[in-house]
A and B are shown apart, each in its own frame.
Chain A
Amino acid sequence: MTTLTTMEKKDTRSGFGDGLYEVAKKNDKVVGLCADLTGSLKMNKFQDEFPERFFQMGIAEANMIGTAAGLAISGKIPYTGTFANFSTGRVYDQIRQSIAYSHKNVKICASHAGLTLGEDGATHQILEDIGLMKMLPGMTVINPCDYSQTKAATIEIADHEGPVYLRFGRPKWPIFTTDMEFTIGKALHMREGTDVTIFATGHLVWNSLEAAKALAEQGISAEVINIHTIKPLDNKAILDAVANTKCAVTAEEHQMNGGLGDSICQLLARNTPLPVEMVAVNDSFGESGTPMELLEKYGLGVKDVIAAAKRAVSRK
């Protein structure tokens, strides 16, 4: 059994900032656009090192999306940066027409996603963005789980031709994928198990690993699979996993409607119907609080993943 331990914590947005700097060093087509949140998105290093390739867009996200499309037409690889709320819901039609339908090679990079944005409250805590983005034909949707994976994903997407939504967050979070490979659309096995498979994405991967440890002490063997790419979904990895465990839990910092769980339920319903329990926000907005308080209050804590796993096992 693999046991993942961590000593260090870092925010996933720093993984984006460092990844952007790294990929820009290698690829001079990479350009960065930011809507007045350069510090929050950790784009300063890129901006300082490549000022001619950095475009300050001001508080004008719709124009940022269109400008990115225009840059992409000319062969650049634009990375847009703002909060997830303003990266998606605020500019949905601009993304739909100028990027997705027009198939432009734009990387929409979205920080401060989900409840763990914390104290700023529900206006900024978007929990619908994965759903919005995954519904767009041709859009790749990636939600990495820690600093290292976010950095790897930021570098990797430059080589992927087509629009990408890359979602990450604000809080410092354990780093545990440093030596792991990242391939778009390829699920990562984080922990072996035989009684239940936990499919987790983003920050909830760590909570799921913690839950699996606790479950093991209680005699339940939980497999944990990191679905960093929600679209295209790694159907084979998911179906192979549940062929052994016969039940599943999904875990994500997103609405239940439209999220990872929803995608996995569709896949299982069409192929191999079996018990699924979903750890996600249940048709509710968030509120102010610390990230950990919010995860607990809205049912996304370690204890919630444990409870969901037990329910799933009991329904087999």
Chain B
Amino acid sequence: MSKTTYELENYVKQTRRDIVRMVHGVQSGHPGGSLGCTEFLTVLYQNVMRNNPTSFDISGKDEDVFYLSNGHISPVFYSVLAHSGHFPIEELATFRKINTRLQGHPTTHEGLPGVRIASGSLGQGLSVACGTAQAKKLDGEDKLVYVLMGDGELQEGQVWEAVMYASHNKLDNIIATVDVNGRQIDGDTKDIMGFADLKSKFEAFNWNVIYMDGNNLNDVQDTLSKAGVLSGSGKPICILMNTEMGNGVDFMMGSHKWHGIAPNHDQLAEALRQNPSAVGDY
């Protein structure tokens, strides 16, 4: 059953808490991009995807599937997977620790439910999505393949190979979201390797392109619904999702600096104060 906006807001706050606690707990990980994508992944897993989290099947047969291409935002992915029923939320406490299934970057190696492919080395997820989308078409399925990439990740050439392949083969069952936060490790994307106009780039490759405010729950819900309607129209769908890196924790916003560093004890306390728990901590 669909969650209300109020319920979604509580999940978002809870996932923000999980992210900063997980990263603080091992003093490593990537909180900035994770926080920026919290609303999107929460809505996707709580309200949009047609899947079966409690009996996870890696093949995703007759289900919607999601691939996280920018695997470094594993904290948000793990939190959302846990809160959508893929595995117990207590397991979040093992993030990045020895013998964990919650590796620094997601992997199938340890058999964590919800993960179908390893990611971390950037630029590969859209290709994997193309393969699964192709298989679903071959099998006559009408389910969708979602994939999330970072905007910095678009600097990888493989992404554009896949962009070309998807439109040439009319993979209109792919909904690819780009997290346009404008930041990457070394600074702002416009300074490191600017893209000029992403919308016209994807449109030139014959994709349907729509914008989304990734930090506005209602807009995320509406845009994902719209993307679903656009599927099947002969073109793959790209959602350019504007987000703020570090969203929801004020001192992590407005800079690339929190891409991959952990908060200290006082910073953790402040981040948690800004996001009171309504669902329950791990």
Contact = CB atoms under 8 A, between A and B. Distances in A.
The answer to whether A and B interact is yes
Interface of A: 31, 52-53, 55, 57-58, 60, 62-76, 78, 93-94, 96-98, 101-104
A63 B139 contact: no
B160 to A, nearest CB: 9
B121 interface: yes
Contacts of A78: 131
A93 B128 contact: no
Contacts of B60: 73-74
A140 B109 CA distance: 17
B107 A75 contact: no
Contacts, number: 114
Contacts of B65: 73
A62 B157 contact: yes
A70 B118 contact: no
Contacts of B164: 58, 60
Interface in B107-122: 107-109, 116-121
9 contacts: A63-B127, A66-B124, A66-B128, A67-B128, A69-B128, A72-B131, A74-B59, A74-B139, A94-B127
B189 to A, nearest CB: 22
Contact of B135 (A63, A74, A93): A74
Given A74-B132, A76-B135, 7 more contacts: A62-B158, A66-B158, A67-B162, A75-B59, A75-B135, A93-B121, A103-B109
Nearest to B69: A66
Contact of B130 (A66, A94, A103): A66
B136 A74 contact: yes
A97 B124 contact: yes
A11 B47 CA distance: 55
Given A70-B128, A73-B58, A75-B59, A62 B161 contact: yes
Contacts of B59: 73-75
Contacts of A93: 121
Given A60-B161, A63-B161, A103-B109, A70 B130 contact: yes
> Which of B116, B120, B139 has most chain A Cβ within 10 Å?
B116
Nearest to A66: B127
Nearest to A70: B131
A103 B117 contact: no
Contacts of A57: 165
Contacts of A101: 107, 109, 118
